[in-house]
Amino acid sequence: MQVEHLRNIAIIAHVDHGKTTLVDKLLRATDAFRSNQQIEERVLDSNDQERERGITILAKNCSIEYKGVKINVIDTPGHADFGGEVERVLKMADGALLLVDAFEGPMPQTRFVLRHAIDTGLRIMIVINKIDRPAADPERAYNDCLDLMADLGATDEQLEFAMEHVVYASAVNGYARRSPEDDNNDMFPLLDMIIDDMPAPEVDECAPLAMQCVTIDHSNFVGRIGIGRVFSGTLHEGDTILVQKNDGTTTTSKIKQLFTFDYLGRTECSEVGAGDIAAVVGVEGADIGDVYTDPEHPVELAPILIDPPTLSVVFEASTSPLVGRDGDTVGARQLKERLLAEADNNVTMRIAELEDKSGVEVSGRGILHLSVLMETMRREGFEFQVARPRVLFRTGEDGKRQEPIEQAVVECPDEYSGKVIEVFGNAGGTMTSMQTGVTVTHLEFRIPTRGIMGLKNRILNVTHGEGVFYHTFLEYGPYAGEIGGRNNGAMISMTTEKAVAYALGTLQERGQLFVEPGTECYEGMLVGERNKPGDMVVNIARTKNLGNQRSSTSDISVQLTPPRTFSLEEALEYIADDELVEITPKNVRLRKRLLSANERKKAAVRRGQ
């Protein structure tokens, strides 16, 4: 039977195409807030980093009440690094809104999330957003969406449904229209289409209980909270249930509390029926893929498989001479405890201590995925250092070594396309598509994940800041051989002192600086990049020799160009294998693993032997 008073929909799109803003407007249209309530924009992006970066990191649930129908809305991340969230939460939905920018059309990560929605068998409704943008072309974006669906293997039923169900919207202005020429100024056409045409959940209320846990929340008071959809039967507070793990083991647990989603919050209830989404408290060690079922008549569901991590980083306690100046927590034991606690909450990461106990290895889906954890920890007062991200290889069925391959897309002015192709060629990339427009060239490449690191800055440099660069994990492919790293050497401080303007004035002629006058530096810290290969040890505290002679130019001050600053992601991509990133609540510093110049020379001799 169908549960007509329920709809479960996911919103999927490329990063920054307007998913969270659309949910905002749907909540406002259905009077989710009091008339005098102060509401922030993008209310679902509650995490500080989500607001600062302007992206969704964690999949979130909310519900909307419209014409007596409860619509469970799942806001999914658009960035491929958080794809572990997308793959799982789509199992809770019966349909999906594919949101596409009317100007940009489908982008690489649109392909990523759409492929998962098609494989899950969801009905897909197309929403062409930002139709008010200058140079927007809604019809082209709509046709490109249908082409992409066909390319990804959508069934005839899915394609026919998408062709008949398209809405043109401007989420930021709060309207959705059946046609771009309409003059409607509210979101009700989209809501009407959802409740009229999106499939209601198909359930069997009389069958034994079956619920699969697809995401985990964590509370300091009650521990892990399993969230998922009830496929059949009914959950009751106080029930004893059988918990089937992904590895085949089973345990029994008692449901202590039961919640459903109500607008932006959760409401405690005594029972949750089939088709609805529930949050369950009381299952010890709740994990992704757990099936909650009837102990006497157990139901088996397909296990949830998550794409494996592709990059790993080793976290170590800081050994910097400046350790402890910015942060409160600097010990190796506290660092290990914090990371192992993260393993409880973040199931898309693999976290394990190294065999020699020197650090903790954290594996994730990409640089951004890993840097979000680092940023969270530095805000909690931790000081630590991390090594260069390492690609995770695997052995294929033929016994040969394989590595993660990415699909990269660059859009740039036509005159820079040759330079972009050259940059990708040097990084091990292969061009798969080139489309030349009136002013912009669209280039697509296959490139090993190793080659992606540090590529964004090079693309921005050769396109004079006018290039747009996206990439997403594609598959594991044959090992591509050696790929060249950073060409230029580093300027390395020889002393632990503050940088002086006079010394920096002479050094900036030799390359690009990373520090400004007054910056605390230490021996072994990277203070700049040379214009040539090979590292150079420099004195950043050298002052002008003062004599009794005065020149007519003595009062002219040193003119310094602004130093290059690194975000966490840029620093991780920049460093070489013998370098580290030191992360504190106030600073991101680059340093050599061996701080002493003599130690580095000895290590070089040993490597030569």
Question: What span, in angstroms and rounded, lies between the C-alpha atoms of 469 and 400?
Answer: 31
- Is 129 marked as a binding-site residue? yes
Cβ partners under 8 Å of residue 84, min gap 6: 306, 307, 347, 348, 365
- Is 293 marked as a binding-site residue? no
- Is 511 marked as a binding-site residue? no
* Identity at 86, one-letter amino acid code: V
Report the candidate in 383, 388, 392 with the shortest Cα–Cα distance to residue 570: 388
Report the candidate in 407, 408, 413, 528 with the shortest Cα–Cα distance to residue 465: 413
Q: Are strands 468-478 and 511-513 parallel, antiparallel or unpaired?
A: unpaired
Report the candidate in 291, 179, 287, 187 with the shortest Cα–Cα distance to residue 229: 291
For helices 138-151 and 108-120, give the axis angle rounded to 10 degrees. Answer: 50
- Is 48 marked as a binding-site residue? no
- Is 17 marked as a binding-site residue? yes
Burial classification of residue 488, based on how many CB atoms lie within 10 Å of its CB (0-12 exposed, 13-18 middle, 19 or more buried): middle
Question: What span, in angstroms and rounded, lies between the C-alpha atoms of 134 and 103?
Answer: 8
**Per-residue tokens: 569:** 């992601």
Count each helix (H run) and each strand (E run) in the chain, helices first. 15, 33
- Is 587 marked as a binding-site residue? no
Phi then psi for residue 556, to 5 deg, are -75, 125
- Is 218 marked as a binding-site residue? no
CB 84 within 8 A of CB 55: no
- Is 18 marked as a binding-site residue? yes
- Is 442 marked as a binding-site residue? no
Per-residue CA distances from 105 to 117, 123, 444 (Å): 18, 20, 15
Cβ partners under 8 Å of residue 553, min gap 6: none
- Is 21 marked as a binding-site residue? yes
Binding-site residues, in ranges, read 16-21, 129-132
Binding-site residues for GTP, in ranges, read 16-21, 129-132
